[in-house]
Amino acid sequence: MDILLLLYAIPLFCLFILILKKIDSKQDKECYILDYQCHKPTDDRKLDTKFSGEVILRNKQLGLPEYKFLLKAIVSSGIGEQTYAPRIMFSGREADPTLEDGISEMDEFFNDSIAELLERSGVKAQEIDILVVNVSMLASTPSLSARIINRYKLREDVKVFNLTGMGCSASLISIDIVRNIFKTYKNKFALVVTSESLSPNWYSGNDRSMILANCLFRSGGCAMLLTNKRELKHRAMFRLKCLVRTHHGSRDESYQCCIQREDEQGKPGFHLGKTLPKSATRAFIDNLKEIAPKILPIRELLRFALVLLLKKILRRGSTKGAPSPRAVINFRSGVDHFCIHTGGKAVIDGIGTNLELSEYDLEPSRMTLHRFGNTSASSLWYVLGYMEAKKRLRKGDRIFMISFGAGFKCNSCLWEVVRDLGDANVWKDCIDNYPPESLANPFTEKYGWIHGEDPDTFVVPESIEF
């Protein structure tokens, strides 16, 4: 009898050990953010209304129609007067950039943010096991990742990934790379560096689809320190719950709506096509279809399915044109905070409308757009910083990040807040001033007279009274 019990017990014991090992190994595959540091350029790089007007007037390719178009674009952009531009703008050389201009712009960010991040976290540069750098529109040799390795003397066996051309959604792609490496390698530190080099990418022509990018993009960047070390999980700020990437590059319309090219005069720039909103919406919907079941409670998914079913039944039985209930999934049932890419006021408004978000939900993205502009792939982390500076983030909260990028791509992920957070970070000198009473910028007040000018008699004034 004892032998029989032993024969039964041994397989059960082995099964128990296997289950424990499975649970134990899963803990080593978690992806935590230990800390992050957004870049705040120096005040001599601030781009106010007066200087913006001077930069526009330097482009002799523009006429009255382009001035009116730019004025309308910047007034409706949601961008304020505290954003930052590369130094090349202030020396008047934006139309004739050099390779050194782009590299020095990145060095200023690398030397500031990475150094501060490592010092604050207590992690030495030689402890970094993985380095992922994404700067979409600057490729140098040696690579930008090599410059970081040289500057901070990282180890010879560091695993390095240098991404270009990924657009505004690149930071979540970098996070995904780290997440997958963490599934294979235990007890690692990863440094993710995300930014955009604007110096070599100013458009000096008059194609409206390309000068629009000049209005929207601003200087910025962010460095993030990630780990899968279980002993550090209590020090961590966020834990990655899931991440979904959607790529519509196989659709010609989506591929061509947001693309770097030359205009008819051979001037390089970044084209934003009229099909961009449609392509972004399509990618966004497909991304939501995949991530919703991963982040929302079962009760909300069942409710949504029932509403869809009811809508189909009513549509079949009703007369043509009769209204039917709108099927909208409630993302707030599984999400506490929404971290939306600051691609522009229209992007934030569109996501807010489609997800039926409140102004409270949209405030971090609106304020980030106003204060820092669209800093490309790093913009999400300025939005996250706003939430933290406002002391919104509490242990257990869930943050939904949404980003878009050329290709066309929509990437999203869900973070869980590991502990109560409240550092003012990059917002520390201005968080008390946000939200302001009005987000209106003074461009209309300064340049509104342009709308009353006659195209036949208009002459660019030699001087403007500001």
> Would you please indicate which residues are annotated as catalytic (active-site) residues?
168, 247, 337, 341, 370, 374
Compute CA 453 distance to the chain's CA centroid, rounded to the nearest angstrom.
Answer: 39
Q: Are 240 and 198 in contact (CB under 8 A)?
A: no
For 263-397, where are the E strands, in sequence order?
Answer: 268-272, 337-340
Judge residue 364's burial from the number of C-beta atoms within 10 Å of its C-beta, 0-12 exposed, 13-18 middle, 19 or more buried: buried
DSSP code per residue over 234-299: TT-SEEEEEEEEEE-TTSHHHHHSEEEEE-TTS-EEEEE-TTHHHHHHHHHHHHHHHHHHHHS-HH
**Dihedral of the CA atoms 204, 210, 211, 214 (nearest 10)?**
-90
Closest CA to 415 of 394, 395, 402, 400: 400
Task: Specify the DSSP class assigned to residue 325.
Answer: -
Taking a C-beta distance cutoff of 8 angstroms, is the pair 419, 237 a contact? Answer: yes
- Which residue in 229, 172, 236 sits closest to 378, CA to CA? 172
Query: Is 430 in contact with 385 (CB distance < 8 Å)?
Result: no
